[in-house]
Amino acid sequence: MGSLLSSRSFTLCVLLVLMFAQKSTSRKVVTKDNQQALANTDGHSSSSHMMNNHMDPSEQIFFTISDLKIGKSLPIYFSYKDPSTSPHLLPRDEANSIPFSSSELPYLLEFFSFSKDSHQAEAMKYTLTQCELQPLKGETKFCATSLESMLDFTRGVFGLETNFKILTTNFITNPLIGNPLQNYTILKLPEEIYAPKMVACHSMPYPYAVFYCHYQESENKLFQVSLTGENGVRVEAAAVCHMDTSQWNRDHASFRVLKIKPGTSPVCHFLPVDNLVWVPDQLPA
Ligand SMILES: *[C@@H]1O[C@H](CO)[C@@H](O)[C@H](O)[C@H]1NC(C)=O
């Protein structure tokens, strides 16, 4: 199965992968990961994380567009997430029956049986806060708590007449246990994917699947990149290049990783495995 799927087969795939996760009994909240750097890829600075200067290895996903060459080696953090232990997508009815608001956090912690001081509580608070931030200028954002609401948001951006498809990052060979941060080499000329508009959805730490989806009017390029890691693992990665970074927060992780300043260069990043990019489907001529 390729990483480009029609919206219909994607629906099936997501349902299979994410709803199978219902088998797992314990409710987990995934740890904050490079999602944090990404949900903000567009300028919001995120509180404490941005204050300290130490480099988080999970921020090692940024590169510049000139790196997209065959044979180029880049240090990249790709963590494999076992779908059977990842939070599952709720059906819309069920998701809508649970409040999704930071003002309801005390109730939610009780509902999910998390103590006020737990990591889970911190993660939920983080996600709710991110979801409640005002969009940036030119940005449309939405936190989807179900597949149906994610599809509705995407349709709203692309219009009802447009077919769309999805791009993800996939491990092609078995993800070996090892350091998620390693050097990866670009195997083939990266393929640019037709993407006049795109909706990026980043998974957020929460007891059930929540995707922070956003659309920006600024120019972005989308690529599919074949990579091989030092340990031999093969990854088909989706990569987004933001061509104009002049409005981004100067404290954004990408500037630290790439040692550049806002607006001086396009910033590209690989998509973590559980993120999605929706693009209009270009019908064959
Ligand atoms: C990647 O390769 C460079 C050059 O060989 C090396 O200095 C660096 O430590 C490697 N990075 C990782 C994450 O292995």
- Three-class SS state of 129: helix
Q: pLDDT per residue over 250-268, tens digit each?
A: 999 999 989 999 999 999 9
Buried b (16+ CB within 10 A) or exposed e, 215-244: bbeeebbbbbbbbbbeeebbbbbbbbbbee
- Centre of ligand 1 to C-alpha 181, Å, is 10
- Name all contacts of 111-118 with Cβ < 8 Å and 24+ positions apart: 112/27, 112/207, 114/29, 114/207
pLDDT of residue 27: 42
Q: What is the position in ligand 1's atom list of the atom closest to the CA of 182?
A: 13
Closest approach atom of ligand 1 to CA 179:
13
Cα 39 to ligand 1 centre (Å): 27
Q: Give the residue whose CA is nearest to atom 2 of ligand 1.
A: 183
Cα–ligand 1 centroid distance for 82 (angstroms)? 27
Pocket of ligand 1 (CB under 6 A): 75, 181-183
Protein residue with its CA nearest to atom 6 in ligand 1: 183
All residues at 6 or more sequence positions from 265 whose CB lies less than 8 Å from its CB, including other chains:
64, 65, 245, 258
Q: Alpha-carbon dihedral of residues 9, 11, 14, 17, nearest 10 degrees?
A: -60
The pLDDT assigned to 54 comes to 53
Q: Which residue has the tokens 């949900």?
A: 39
Predicted TM-score of the model (pTM): 0.78
Task: Determine the pLDDT at residue 134.
Answer: 93
CB atoms within 10 A of CB 177: 8
Pocket test for ligand 1, best of 183, 186, 233, 257 (most atoms within 8 A of CB): 183
Beta bridge partners of 204: 210
Alpha helices in the chain (DSSP H): 7-20, 35-39, 47-51, 92-96, 105-111, 119-132, 147-158, 253-258
Helix (H, G, I), strand (E, B) or coil at 179: coil
Q: For residues 182 and 179, what is the distance between their CA atoms, to the nearest angstrom?
A: 7
Q: Across-strand partners of 136? A: none
- Compute, in angstroms, the gap from residue 75 CA to the centroid of ligand 1: 7
For residue 272, report the distance from its CA to the centre of ligand 1, in Å: 20
Instruction: Determine the pLDDT at residue 169.
Output: 93
pLDDT given for residue 34 in this prediction = 47
Atom index in ligand 1 nearest the CA of residue 181 equals 13
3-class secondary structure, 110:
helix
At 52-97, the pLDDT tens digits run 345 677 788 899 999 999 999 999 998 887 777 889 899 999 999 9
Q: Which residues of the chain have pLDDT under 50?
A: 1-28, 30-37, 39-53
Q: What is the 72 CA–ligand 1 centroid distance (Å)?
A: 12
202, 34 contact by CB (below 8 A): no
Strands 181-186 and 220-229: antiparallel
Taking the CA of residue 75 as reference, the ligand 1 atom at the shortest distance is 13
What is the predicted pLDDT for the residue at 22? 34
220-to-13, 244, 261 alpha-carbon distances in Å: 26, 8, 18
Span from the CA of 183 to the centroid of ligand 1 (angstroms): 6
